[in-house]
Amino acid sequence: MSTAGGGWAKAPSFADDPRMRERLRERTAEDRREQLEGGLRPVECARCGACVLAKKNSPSHTSIQWTGAAAEQCPELAARARDGSTAHVESCPDLHESIAASIRDTRSAVEEQE
């Protein structure tokens, strides 16, 4: 939204409308929860049993949420963690195969129901 002077207008603060501020705060929290957690399903690694939350966003994008316990249980991730932060570590290949198998199983179950 631009102003007559060519600059950008600030989003409304709703300072005079506490009910609207509360509704926006709640909706923002819901949006954040959905973005971070929506569609995540538990997947257990067939190799080590570590359980993560995962979702397939597209053919080339998989979101994985690791818990502390799963990161410690996974030998691949634990070995990498000893060398430093795991923030930018590619995930465990065995876990990726378990996620792929879970997706195949889910697709097969859906096809059987149709």
Which ranges constitute the DSSP H helices of the chain?
A: 18-37, 68-73, 75-82, 93-113
pLDDT value at 14 more than 70: yes
Share of the chain above pLDDT 90, in %: 31
As a whole number of angstroms, the distance between CA 30 and CA 34 comes to 6
pLDDT classification of 38: cutoffs 50, 70, 90: confident
Which pair of structure tokens corresponds to residue 44? 């257990």
- What's this model's pTM, rounded to 2 decimal places? 0.64
Model confidence over 52-87: pLDDT tens digits? Answer: 999 888 888 888 888 889 988 999 888 877 776 666
Mean pLDDT highest for which of 32-36, 46-50, 80-84? 46-50
pLDDT classification of 88: cutoffs 50, 70, 90: low
The whole-chain average pLDDT of the chain stands at: 82
Mean pLDDT computed over 34-63: 89
φ, ψ dihedrals at 53, nearest 5°: -105, 130
Which residue's entry shows tokens 């059987």?
A: 112
